[in-house]
Amino acid sequence: MRKNTSERFAREVLSALAQGYSVPSVGEHFAIEPSVAQRLNDKIVEQSTFLPRINIVPVDELVGENLLGYAKEPVTSRTDTSGNGERKPKDVLGLGKYDYQLHKTDSDVAIRYNTIDVWAKFPDLADRYARYVQERIAADRELIGWYGERAVATTDLVANPLMQDVNKGWLQYMRDNLPANILTEGEHAGEIRIGKGGDYSCLDVAINDMVEGIPYYLQKDLVALIGRDLIVRERAMLFEAVQGTPTEKAAMDSFSQKYGGLPWETPSFFPARGLVITPLANLSLYHQDTSWRRKIEDNAKKDQYEDYLSRNEGYVVETPEQLVAWEFANVKLPFEEGGQTVWK
């Protein structure tokens, strides 16, 4: 049974990969053609609900300047040219120049022989395996985007369970390039207190205040990304305020469709106490389409097939001036303990 199912896995998966990558065999480490790499990347992105809504950008270089531009001020005017007046074109692209850097990123997985045996009953064995791997890579990309702090030579998943050491994510990009747009504290050092008696009494007040940190000419298509802990606390406050009657509950649900006048959502894997305000189109994931490499091999010594995939990628905030956020690790909420309010 094991021999037959393992052979079937090898035949279906390896031949499908070889055909897809236009190579004779995937038994050797091989580079993936850019057009094929783009299709593979698209398949990974499709497994996420968030990644399809941001920019996934193929680039040529490991290091360079951000690719997507924006207009920093109005360009429409009029000049009387009948005398000495001259029309004066404006250079409107950008408030500052920002760079990106890509890092080699590995997604190496193994599938045990006994798992293959269990999956033998599925006619879509190869597709099922590919989908599981793609879903996990998509989830990892989102986690790194929110929690990534650095890119080290050898990562440690035990010490950094949110993959903080795999790459620099969007919030770290802001910390490095425009730290003034990341609020780190309020009245109390190292703390941002949200709730009655805190720096902000509620999300509406907080978001209204935070939006003012974005220049007026960039306040377009803004979305508030809000962590689950903050939403749960906000709704609990509202339920308590309306005393839970059905009519008032319905009104509350309608009211909470926006916070601070902005549409909001909680992306998968978003920090539970995070707040980010920006257009989704301001977030990018760059990948070098000539860097994708793959190898699949049968490791009989470990009773498993091993699938090695690598590429160079990095996270970019296209217009840092168009993003404001909280340092989510510093956010404190009020709790009643022994008749006193404790912030934690």
CA–CA separation, 117 and 123 (whole Å): 13
Can you give the pLDDT at residue 11?
64
Contacts of 281 (CB under 8 A, 6+ apart): 54, 55, 221, 318
pLDDT tier for residue 162 given thresholds of 50, 70 and 90: very high
Which pLDDT tens digit goes with each residue over 239-283?
776 665 666 555 556 556 889 999 999 999 999 999 999 999 999
Buried b (16+ CB within 10 A) or exposed e, 272-296: ebbbbbbbebbbbbbbbbbbbbbeb
What is the pTM (predicted TM-score) of this model?
0.87
User: How wide is the angle at C-alpha 175 spanned by C-alphas 188 and 277, nearest 5°?
Assistant: 80
Q: Residue 149, CB half-sphere, CA atoms under 13 Å: how many? A: 10
Which pLDDT tens digit goes with each residue over 308-323?
999 999 999 999 999 9
Backbone angles phi, psi at 161, to 5 degrees: -65, -20
Question: Mean of the per-residue pLDDT values for the chain?
Answer: 86
pLDDT at 327 over 90: yes
Which pLDDT tens digit goes with each residue over 277-304?
999 999 999 999 899 998 888 888 999 8
> Do residues 343 and 334 lie in contact, with contact meaning Cβ atoms separated by under 8 Å?
yes
